[in-house]
Chain A
């Protein structure tokens, strides 16, 4: 057999685990869930074709609209805050002072704590009367809110919690810093540039690919907030933390509305896709790649 023939066959063999997995667990299911969204099915009785009725019902489902609002609220606040905090920490930790590696680890630590224990811990920390957060606030002279028990503060509570796990984002920024040539700072220094100027006109542009990457990833992840909401508040109080993914889960696995939930899943997919497209579209305006 020809050399290239052998190589081609071997090639397919090597990637076959992915191909099989893709067809069975990714590609197939995507199509299946699209088809499913046009049915009404509770897993027990036979599936029932209803056309676009699921989508129509969703547009009039008040709880669904609330879940979209909650998810957008969360994403719009959490993403910029997370990126900012991660950037500040990355800058702090990027200094060449002794023992900085230890502190880098400390900052990264919360990010690897499994989400379920973390969520339980934060329920305790945010306890209105005896929780640590309100205690610290009271020491600063501020009356802490009811946090997870409050309609107004339940989402901010979750955003606050998210700010502690900025480790992964921070590391991407750190890697980005490595790619900034020192000579740029040096020539800015020669031109008499101050600290702020150097930050805005050297650091930020050179960091923009990393900022972009983090922005896209964090947006996608924020759209999918689930575990915290299920464990800490079950969507309450009064649906104030009922996020999209949680509502989807309830529809599919508590109330067994498979078709309805599949429709929700596809809408979410489209929203994420659209958001990512927008990010990429806007990218050419502000992301700077050195290879120009």
Chain B
């Protein structure tokens, strides 16, 4: 361990792999405050597939990572159209989740078919071909082919290829037919590329670590990833693409091999606009923002919601998150922000003046007090509701999972709508009645009260006083940081949640899960505790949470689990 400083200047205990650089392995996980018995690999979450794997040494690139990496390898524009089959995410899983991206034959075939189309574009003519020829490459055909292959495999496999690999792929290139030398090289390169990108060394994020260190380390210890592996992990985590030429050059120069150099790489990466895009993507998934655009409501009963407003709400949420990130805010600000982006119709829904606004422009505005935090924005509220009715159970579950990291059991089959007594009128009363049995209450006692905090927001996201003709009841209480809190409405709830250790810790866990690709590790808990402790003093910026995760052993090392020969 070491004492480091985050960019904001506050001291923070960062987990580092300094010891790993000097010796075979970090040794004791428990020394970092965890239990020796704590499984580092996560338990599956309710509703998740048991067939998946976590903490793999060969996690497959996600569909997006693969697409971005192939285009980069082929030196094609990122905007090149690529169509890949959708891979369904489990509920509440990030798109980086290792369990999602399997190696089934349909998935592999789809990737192969895509490459077949792209590779033709990549080496379409001599000009394109030139981009694959390293500067100073020999002109003699065999030597040139070998140089081209070595460079190609270096970029594809994110490490120097072995001589055996180079020889094999060179044979593919040299075996190509064609008239001119360039035509032969082009044909050969087409073959070599198609084979290379189907290799597990391209398709997977291979993280074996240094062999000598692994062998010298006892089972249960941790070894640092190699510089190339760490560069790949960092690039995929923050840029959603394999390391580019510059980063690979840095890895080759050893700039991922020691702590201070790696810290510098983190700073470089965080300053890259692609990292900001990833931060937005994280929150987009956390708050289901991408789904806002598809929203539709019963216009007759919810007249403030007009067709197409989902896109407005999406814009509002994304810009708001972006503002928080750019201003150096963190989860506290996300849960408390009162500024938003509105156009004319969204302003109307928010109940603020729409003077001078149009529907085509978004303007930053201060929102009313009830709009405290990202979860009180119209988009999330409309998303967590049906065409007409609020969905307090869904709202409560999301809060539990995304904000408080409290686990709930998997959703049971939805029972038939009960026949309500005549005195059960409001949406809240109905939910309470339907979940009143002892069996239901084992979970819903925890879920419902959090969802009821939003009862003054209808299914369009509008702030309303009533719930089915009666005064809306948004009161509730629950235990937070070991103490009971009470609230009346979302604003008072978030004012307490935003400063809680639990919310800070949960936010850090979510980031760690996102960056690592699997949830629930012991080290994730440590990072979360670290961030939460710091948050007791001040708000922790999003970038600092990311730094903590990227510097942690969870990110820079891997656990030794293999049997020793």
A and B interact physically? no
Chain A residues proximal to chain B, CB less than 8 Å:
none
Chain B residues proximal to chain A, CB less than 8 Å:
none
